[in-house]
Chain A
Amino acid sequence: MKLFAPIAALCLLATASVSHAADPYLARNLAATCANCHGTNGNAVKGAGMDALAGMEKAKILQKLADYKSGDKPASIMHQISKGYTEAQLDLIAGYFAAQK
């Protein structure tokens, strides 16, 4: 059951972040803000021209986001959106999409 891994990770996260009471579903919730364009759980509509993020390696997603933020990777809109999230939030988002099928 592939579901166990992300759920176990969420449990650990919940335990580790008790001090500032992070939501146990924070990664899921943050990643959902990307789904309007990149598809539910990162499964973008095929042929519609958007990056499908589901199952993409976490390091690769983080590198893309860092390149958008720095301006190294030209973009129409992602250079503006990526700057709206903290590094910690982007890390959670990338981890969530990497764990999706």
Chain B
Amino acid sequence: MMLMKRRDFLKVGAAAGAMASLYGCAGGGKASGHVVVVGGGYGGATVAKYLRMWSEGGVQVTLIERNPTFISCPISNLVIGGTKTMEDITISYEGLRSKWGVRVIQDDVVSVDAAKKTISLKGGSALSYDRLVLSPGVDFMFDQIPGLNNADAQSKILHAWKAGPQTVALRKQLESMKDGGTYAIAIPKAPYRCPPGPYERACLVADYFKKSKPKSKVVILDANEDVMSKKGLFTKAWTDLYKGIIEYRNNSEVKDVEVGTNTAVLEFDKFKADVLNVIPPHRAGDIAAKSGIKMINNRWVDINWLSMESTSTPGIHVLGDAVFPAPTMPKSGHMANQHGKLAAAAILNMLSGLEPNPEPVVMNTCYSFVDAKNVIHVSSVHQYDAATKTVQPVKGAGGVSAARNELEGKVAMGWAKNIWADMLT
């Protein structure tokens, strides 16, 4: 085992360090140290870049990511619908390396030792850290759907709820489906990643069917009692654009599957589909629970909203979909990016002897395509409230689109280009 020490990074940090010392006016010293970030998605890539940028290179950052490139979940439903390609949603980590001096290591983290402040990698090496950021996203609770709790079943009944090979595979299943077939998408009980995402996917598959397989149907099996996001706008799209194609069924939790027949087993009923897309319930990515940090309901990490630091384990910050959400806060890529900036600011303060910002703000915007061109959004702003020790949605702010429109279809792609650049280049 080889421990990578801080001095390995001294060359990278030296030039920028002189600039960082200008910030001495704040009363704290210059931020320095080594931060290890686990997970290079919307949260982890953002915190890595912003730690380097805001410390002017004074803080060394190592990012551990198991995938060779970043693949975006937002916009991936357009790949499933057939109007975008994987290339459109895939971005290199090279910008983080060459422009920002982040050390990006492709590997998996197998354990965290919070007392010794070290992590071990699957590849055999270990790293020491001054502060650790976990941005592990979600893992699926396949044990909740017994028939899906094996690799063979999971290769046939897809979730495609992490963008990557499953995105491509689900698209292939839809392309292979005969006209007149049925695609069913099963949504788990909230909270889950990307509340409007399943409804967007239903729309985009229906749009594809309308153009290419007009006798085919889309059935939404929703474990929740109602549409969880942008309800009025989605139901209007289903009526206006997809009448006779999309059928919505509430209170339809998938309890099991029969893989051989592509059948979803509900509480009192069964549903057989030609393409069955089951999104299992999820929880914080496995490494969070393995780290021994406090979880709520054994699923989500309990954090301090001033710093995103674990409430049980000092020195470990957790971001994104893995955290127990603040009131009305969605699990979204945009929100994970905001968590990344909140955490970066707090970590730099803590590494230079200051308290974290006592009044953080985060905000969310989420665009959903209801066909290849028309988009609807939901937005919110969340301010820290000292009385409840959490970030609370600002009353009277935020909201949804007045109606689906093509202008926001262009804005949605502008959003994607800007947030990808904000994280990665």
Contact = CB atoms under 8 A, between A and B. Distances in A.
Interface string A28-59: 11101101111110001100111000000000
Given A7-B23, A23-B358, A76-B408, A50 B399 contact: no
Interface of A: 3-4, 7-8, 10-11, 14, 21-26, 28-30, 32-33, 35-40, 44-45, 48-50, 76-77, 80-85, 89
Contacts of A36: 334, 337-338, 365, 415, 418-419, 422
B359 A23 contact: yes
A3 B20 CA distance: 11
B26 A25 contact: yes
B355 interface: yes
A50 B414 contact: yes
Contacts, number: 135
A52 to B, nearest CB: 10
A49 to B, nearest CB: 4
B234 to A, nearest CB: 18
A45 B418 contact: yes
Nearest to A20: B358
A80 B379 CA distance: 7
Contacts of B361: 29-30, 33, 84-85, 89
Given A81-B379, A85-B381, A14 B26 contact: yes
Contacts of A81: 363, 365, 379, 381, 397-398
Given A29-B360, A76-B411, A40 B365 contact: no
Contact of A35 (B359, B401, B407, B422): B422
B251 interface: no
From B357, B401, B419, name the one whose CB has the most chain A CB atoms within 10 angstroms: B357
Closest 7 pairs (CB-CB, A-B): A84-B381, A84-B397, A23-B357, A11-B25, A24-B26, A83-B397, A49-B414
Given A28-B54, A39-B421, A40-B53, A49 B358 contact: no
Contact of A76 (B382, B394, B401, B419): B401
Given A76-B377, A81-B363, A44 B418 contact: yes
Contacts of B422: 35-36, 39-40
Given A76-B408, A84-B383, A37 B357 contact: no
B22 interface: yes
A84 B405 CA distance: 24
A18 to B, nearest CB: 9
Contacts of A77: 365, 377, 379, 401, 408, 411
B349 interface: yes
